A and B are shown apart, each in its own frame.
Chain A
Amino acid sequence: MRRIQRLDVRGFRGVQTQTSLLFDRRSVLLFGENGTGKSSFVDAIEKLFTGKVSTLDGRAQGISSDRHGPHIHNGASTLSIAITFDDPGTTTFALGSNANGLPSDIREYLTSARENLYIMRRRQVLEFIESQPRDRYANLRPFLPLTEIEAVENALRQAREKADDEAQKATQDSDRVISQIRRELGLPSSLVAPSEQEVLAALSDALVKVGQSPIGGIQDLESARNNLDQALAPFGDLSRQSQISNVTRTLGQLIELFVSPNLTGFVNSLQEFQDREAREARVFYEAVLEQGIRWIQEERRETCPLCQSQIKPDEVATQVQARLEEMREIVQLRRQTQGAVEQTRQTIRSAQDLLVRLGREVDSMTSDDKARGKPLVQDLTDAVKVIWDSLTGQLRDLKLEQIKTAFSLVATDSSLLKRISAERAHLEAILNSLPSPEVAQRILSARNLILRVKDLWIDRQRADSRTAGLGKQAAVAVRLHENAQAARKEEVQGIFDELSEDINNIYTRLHPDESHGGVRLEVRDVGQGSANLKANFYERQDEDPRGYYSDAHLDTLGISIFLALRRWHRQQRPSFDLLVLDDVLTSVDTEHAVRLSELLLQEFKDYQILLTTHDRIWFEHMRDIQSRCRVANNFINKMIHKWTIEEGPDLREPEDERKEIDRLISEGSGKEIAIMAGRLVEHILQEMRYSLRLSVQAKRGENYEIGDLWPAFYATVKKDYPSLYNHARTTLDALDVRWPVRNWIGAHHNQWAQNVSRTTAIDFARAVGDLYDLVFCGSCRRFIAPSATPLGQLSCRCGEKIYPAPGKEAVRPKSREELIKETEGALRDARLDSDLYLTWKRAEAGREH
């Protein structure tokens, strides 16, 4: 698992010059007063890993990390952010660099780090609580393992849409057949299918008119046709007459369609609607209002879905309803126009069907007739296509001018319609000139009618059966899709339950014995994805916590939710262990802050944490808690001493201060030397305070200075670590008389001390430098601390600096891991075990008594 070794920042936010925050694979507790640049490091991490800074990007219009990220005295050109990892090749990932060539474990780390669920800042504590259910869900969505179930749901949604489409097309086909049957039989125009009785009555009427018997059922159509054929037999070959009769009839039907009122009236009603809408409803966004009111009501939003302003949902709902009411006439008109569009499309589809039939009929004619008929069929087909294309799309997409042009192709005075009429007249003339008595014509018409209706009736039965089948399929698809939706919601609720349990565990740990909690994330039944947040407060169950919880409780709830989410994210990305908490404990009282600190250090000890605070007391508490929780070695505790706009946060490492002392001794003033030496000695003593567990009298604000720390340090070393004392005696004694220099200059302002002699300052600084060299190891970069064994020995981590226990040899420290490897089970083959040992002990005790 990779960890961060160091973060280097330059020219970004409050950091002007190149500044490093050393992690050394450990966690960092960073203290700095307000405005000293702590958050600049957090911003830098976020910018580097995600490309954004959540406190800038998207916060307000015109604010962005690209514009406001670079230091105000530098352009973006000098900006650099880089993180160095702890892999063997100490890989560095810098802002703007490509991750492709990096080792796979680093790439994996960077991929996880792009999903920002590990940085929490003070202003984000309440973000999750305050966000809307839909936004909450959107925040969680990338981390819900729903890819498979969503793929199934999407596939079923597509299947549902397809089934709906097909069912709709089948219904339209059925409607067309119905229209044609009605037209053939001269029944009133309607989309309701004529009953079998109506059809039989109309056909019987036609048969009776040519001296045939009426028919009793559809099954009699075939025998009726045979009877008509027999009736025609005496008239000889009438096939040409039959062909011409069919074409004449179809041409007549086409003319009827093109001059039908629904086609001619459509252009007018569309024009009326579009004029009205343009005139009255320019600012009337019906869909927006209807959708908006649904969001507000379903999700109990208290902000406008469009502009995020605060709203009163009930008032807005009433206003929107009133506007919708006012515009009802337009809504009505729109619905009517929509209906007219559908009807017109239906008419055009019928025209297409007639043209297909006409094509077939013309094909079966004699070559002369065919040669004249075919160009007309082609021109008509082209014109109908142009009309159809002009009607494609939603109502709002229809172009009136384009429709007018298309419709003019088949208008009463159009050349095409004139050609149809002329052709029809021509064919009628031919028919009249052919040797066929009027009675034969009528029998022939009846026969053709019987044949067409017979075919159409079969088409209708097929269309009905197809419509019913596809309707059933569509219903099944709807049920399957609804089940998949329900399954996803159940799955999400399962995850929410798991998450809620962890939120409660954390929250209860922060607030033991308090009568609230029961925090619960819920999926709402309505809506695509939402997450409602509920909690208990005394006897009130399942309430919005904002209604009852105090600000501090909401803060800790926000932190609990964040930590539970972080832990959950870790389960999915075990190799990514970063956790950043930027000054989040501002409004939490000490008792809860301590509990939260313990929780962090115990339950998140296997994370690499960056914790910042501006609270010195908490910073000191945290160091005590680190010791108590036995994780002090996992932490680097750092202070930002000061911040200036030119230099940024002063985060100098002890090595830097040591080098600076040497430089100042050769070229600095007495005052500068004394200030730097004073700072380093305080740095050393702060570290020694923890590693040697110095007893220091408690002080308000926990701001311990040299005067508080030095006497305890000197006495402890002298008494308990004689080997260090003997080694460092000269230095320690020199400092014991010179440490007040720190207070004269630097720590406190004393006019009389401003001119401290250079010699005094150099003596003080040399003693501090010597002490630093005695207690800090440059190899392992650690201060000395008591060894595990032998008792009384002090050493650094690597063993380069060892001060042996009195009367003992120096023992080079080994890592605990190494020690366990060498000793655990080392005598497993011995006869002695604890049972045998205790048996002997009991026997001895018996003898003694």
Chain B
Amino acid sequence: MASPPTHIVDASALIAYFKEEPGHEKFRDLLADEQNVLAIHATNLCEVYYGYLRADGPDKAEDAWQKAIQILGVIETGNLQG
């Protein structure tokens, strides 16, 4: 991978950002800086998806997925070999 992410985020950080929990500002500030490349591993993204599916149903899970890939690079197996 040529341009490694500057930050790898965890599922709970993403959920806190979507929910606007205390501390979400830190996530937002990192995202606001154009020099930062934020990424999440596909496994963690699946956990986020599953969490929303379990708590809120498939529509919210889909919404979360779409929103997440708008702002985060997704590290997949292929990327890790880079």
A792, B38: Cα distance in complex, Å = 13
Docked Cα-Cα span, A788 to B37, in Å, equals 5
B18 and A823 form a contact (CB under 8 A): yes
Question: In this assembly, does B46 line the interface, its C-beta being within 8 Å of a C-beta of chain A?
Answer: no
Which residue of A is nearest B35, CB measured? A630
CB-CB under 8 A from B18, the residues of chain A are 823, 825-828, 830
On whether the beta carbons of A791 and B75 are closer than 8 Å, the reply is: yes
- CA of A630 to CA of B30, assembled, Å: 10
Contact B32 A631 (CB under 8 A): no
Question: In the docked arrangement, what's the CA distance between A836 and B55, Å?
Answer: 9
| Interface-lining segment among A389-397, A589-597, A813-821 | A813-821
Contact indicator per residue, chain A 774-812, by CB within 8 Å of chain B (1) or not (0): 000000000000101111100000000000001100000
Interface centre among B20, B47, B73 (most CB of A within 10 A): B73
Q: Known contacts A791-B1, A837-B11: does B36 contact A630 (CB below 8 Å)? A: yes
* B32 in contact with A719 (CB, 8 Å): no
A817 and B32 contacting across the interface, CB-CB below 8 Å: yes
Quick check: A832 and B36 within 8 Å, CB to CB?
no
Beta-carbon contacts under 8 Å, A527-585 to B: none
Residue on B nearest A817 in the bound complex, by CB: B32
- The reply to whether B67 and A825 form a contact with Cβ atoms under 8 Å apart is no
Q: Which of B2, B39, B55 contacts A832 (CB 8 A)?
A: B55
Flag if B20 contacts A828 (CB, 8 Å).
yes
Contact B19 A825 (CB under 8 A): yes
A824 within 8 A of B: yes
Residue pair A824, B2 in contact (C-beta under 8 Å): no
Chain B hits for A716, CB < 8 A: 2
Bound-state Cα–Cα, A779 to B39, Å: 29
Dominant secondary structure of chain B at its interface with chain A = helix
A633 within 8 A of B: yes
Query: Chain B residues near A824 (CB, 8 Å)?
Result: 17, 20, 24, 28
Q: CB distance A827 to B71 under 8 Å?
A: no
User: Please, which residue of chain B has its CB at the minimum distance from the CB of A822?
Assistant: B70
Q: Are B19 and A834 in contact (CB under 8 A)?
A: yes
Flag if B35 contacts A632 (CB, 8 Å): yes
With A630-B35, A830-B18, A840-B54 as known contacts, state yes or no: A791 contacts B28, CB within 8 Å.
no
List, in ascending order, chain B residues with CB within 8 A of A819's CB: 31, 70-71
Q: CA separation between A807 and B77, bound complex, in Å? A: 13
Interface assignment of A720: CB less than 8 Å from any CB of chain B? yes
| Contact A792-B79, Cβ < 8 Å, known A827-B64, A837-B12 | yes
What per-residue 1/0 map shows which CB atoms of A486-526 lie under 8 Å from chain B?
00000000000000000000000000000000000000000
- Interface residue ranges of A5-61 to B (CB < 8 Å): none
Q: Contact: A832 with B3, CB < 8 Å?
A: no
State how many angstroms separate the Cβ of B58 from the closest Cβ of chain A: 12
Residue of chain B at shortest CB distance from A825: B20
- Chain B residues positioned under 8 Å from A720 (CB to CB): 1-3, 82
- B42-82: contact bitstring with A at CB < 8 Å (1 yes, 0 no)? 00000100011011100010011001011111110011001
A713 CB → nearest B CB, Å: 11
Q: By the criterion CB–CB under 8 Å, are A791 and B33 in contact?
A: no
- Report whether A833 and B19 are in contact in the complex, using a CB–CB cutoff of 8 Å: yes
CB closest chain-A residue, reference B39: A791
Complex Cα distance, B56 from A786, in Å, reads 34
Binary interface encoding of chain A residues 706-741 relative to chain B, with 1 for a CB under 8 A from any of its CBs, else 0: 000000000010011100000000000000000000
Q: How far is the CB of B70 from chain A (nearest CB, A)?
A: 6
Chain B contacts of A836 at CB under 8 A?
Answer: 51, 55
Question: In angstroms, how far is the closest chain B Cβ from the Cβ of A717?
Answer: 9
| Complex partner residue of B31 from A820, A825, A831, CB under 8 angstroms | A820
B56 lies within 8 A of A832 (CB): yes
Contact B73 A788 (CB under 8 A): yes
Residues of A within 8 A of B12 (CB): 834, 837-838
| Contact assessment for A790 and B73 in the assembled complex, using a CB-CB cutoff below 8 Å | yes
Query: Are A788 and B60 closer than 8 Å at their CB atoms?
Result: no
Q: Does A400 contact B (CB under 8 A)?
A: no
Distance between Cα atoms of A813 and B74 in the complex (Å)? 16
Query: With contacts A830-B56, A832-B56 known, is A789 near B69, CB below 8 A?
Result: yes
Question: What residue in chain B is nearest A717 (Cβ atoms)?
Answer: B2
Tell whether A638 is near chain B: CB-to-CB under 8 Å: no
Q: How far is the CA of A824 from the CA of B19 in the complex (A)?
A: 8
Q: Indicate if A466 sits at the interface (CB-CB under 8 A).
A: no
Q: Which of A632, A693, A822, A838 contacts B67 (CB 8 A)?
A: A822
CA–CA, A131 and B1, complex, Å: 56
Distance (Å) between the CB of A824 and the closest chain B CB? 6
Residues of B within 8 A of A693 (CB): 2-3
- The answer to whether B33 touches A816 (Cβ under 8 A) is yes
Is the pair A832, B74 in contact by a Cβ cutoff of 8 Å?
A: no
Residues of B within 8 A of A631 (CB): 35
Cα–Cα distance between A95 and B17 once the two chains are bound (Å): 50
Q: Is the CB of A834 within 8 A of B67?
A: no
Contact of A831 among B55, B70, B79 (CB under 8 A): B55
In the bound complex, residues from chain B placing their C-beta under 8 Å from that of A692 are 2-3
Residues of B within 8 A of A627 (CB): 35
B31 touches A830 (CB 8 A): no
29 A-B residue pairings within 8 Å (CB atoms):
A630-B34, A692-B3, A786-B37, A788-B71, A791-B1, A791-B37, A792-B79, A806-B78, A807-B78, A814-B70, A816-B34, A817-B32, A820-B31, A820-B32, A824-B17, A825-B24, A827-B63, A828-B20, A830-B18, A830-B60, A831-B55, A832-B52, A832-B54, A833-B16, A834-B12, A834-B13, A834-B15, A837-B12, A840-B51
Binding site for B on A (CB under 8 A): 627, 630-633, 692-693, 716, 719-721, 786, 788-792, 806-807, 814, 816-817, 819-820, 822-828, 830-834, 836-838, 840
Extra contacts besides A630-B35, A789-B69, A827-B67 (18): CB < 8 Å: A631-B35, A633-B35, A692-B3, A786-B3, A790-B69, A792-B3, A816-B31, A820-B31, A822-B70, A823-B67, A826-B63, A828-B20, A830-B52, A830-B56, A831-B56, A836-B55, A837-B51, A838-B12
Binding site for A on B (CB under 8 A): 1-3, 5, 11-13, 15-21, 24, 28, 31-39, 47, 51-52, 54-56, 60, 63-64, 67, 69-75, 78-79, 82
Instruction: Give 8 closest A-B pairs by Cβ, nearest first.
Output: A720-B2, A630-B35, A791-B73, A786-B3, A825-B20, A827-B18, A832-B55, A831-B55
